[in-house]
Amino acid sequence: MPTPREPIKVIAHRGASADVPEHTLAAYRKAIEDGADGLECDVRLTADGHLVCVHDRRVNRTSNGRGAVSALELADLAALDFGSWKDTTRVGPVGPGAGRDTAVPVPPVSEQPQWDAARTSVLTLERLLELVSDAGRRVELAIETKHPTRWAGQVEERLMALLDRFGLASPASAAESPVRVMSFSARSLHRVRAASPYLPTVQLMQFVGVRHRDGRLPPGVGISGPSIRILRGHPSYVEQVHRAGNRVHVWTVDDPADVALCAELGVDAVITNRPRAVLEQLGRG
């Protein structure tokens, strides 16, 4: 008889980011409440050496500030609002370019909405690890290192040091580890593997190069991270990866048709902005 297929794991992309501002503590809390199997985050290194959960190189899109994360200190980022841009109840336009040429009347302080810090404050990876540790159940964490950056290998160095503080840097086996490191940068993954051979790594892909079309991955990497666009155009890729003994974690899977495709192809995990809806579609809601 064939081996029963394990349920597809549902990983919350930047938290439950369809509903709550991405990369905020509130987004990750909601993802855990929604039942997500794991959380995905992007990490960047600040000028004073802190790993923070921010996707873009600059803070312009997701905050009321400007500048590169790598050139700002944690205190600078802590002074910014990283959530109100997504809140539709906010007075006046927000977001990139909003209100640039329009004067918006600001109500008295007593009438302005009070924003929850969990929805608006920058989130450090340390705080996210604390949240996962206190979840009361196994919650996996997929950490994407963002490159290129002026800090280069210091990102992985600080990441491994932080994981070590939480007892997560040196798992006995890849299967036991609740943490995995993802990157489009093969060099980044090489640094992680050199520091911790059993910490799972994911090679993220915008497209599948000729060397990897048969399902093979860079040495030591056991998980392929293709975009959903790759699977739409080349559905046989999933079978190729599995035949090579590797796993498939797909990003970013929000559309119900894409969820159905991933289920049909038997991928191992989907990374989605809508964890609750995807869990329900997969019969796990």
Cis amide prior to 105 (ω within 30 degrees)? no
**In this structure, are residues 201 and 223 in contact, taking their beta carbons and an 8 Å threshold?**
yes
Buried b vs exposed e over 207-224: b needs ≥16 C-beta within 10 Å? ebeeebeebbbeeebbbb
What domains lie within the chain, and their CATH numbers? 7-82+115-280 (3.20.20.190)
Rounded-to-integer distance, Cα 12 and Cα 182, Å: 14
* CB-based burial label for 106 (10 Å; 0-12, 13-18, 19+): exposed
37 vs 178: CA distance, rounded Å: 10
**Token pair belonging to 85:** 């841009």
Please pick, among 13, 23, 50, 249, the residue that the annotation labels catalytic: 13
> In terms of Cα–Cα distance, which of 118, 129, 116 is closest to 41?
129
249 flagged as catalytic: no
Q: Is the distance from CB of 231 to CB of 238 less than 8 angstroms?
A: yes
| Residue 107 banded pLDDT, cuts 50, 70, 90 | very low
Contacts of 228 (CB under 8 A, 6+ apart): 250, 251, 252, 253, 258, 261, 262
Structure tokens, 46: 């600040």
212 is catalytic: no
pLDDT at 211 > cutoff 70: yes
Give the residues across from 25 on adjacent strands. Answer: none
Q: How do residues 136-171 score in pLDDT, each as one tens digit?
A: 999 999 999 999 888 889 999 999 999 999 999 999
Rounded-to-integer distance, Cα 54 and Cα 74, Å = 12
Instruction: Give the pLDDT confidence of 181-194 residue by residue, as tens digits.
Output: 999 999 999 999 99
Q: pLDDT value at position 212? A: 86
Confidence of residue 56 (pLDDT cuts 50, 70, 90): very high
Residue among 50, 55, 212, 249 flagged as catalytic: 55
Q: Of 20-34, 107-121, 206-220, give the lowest mean pLDDT range.
A: 107-121
Two structure tokens written together for 71 = 């050139």
Q: Which tokens go with 251?
A: 């990003």
C-alpha to C-alpha distance for 180 and 168, rounded to whole angstroms: 10
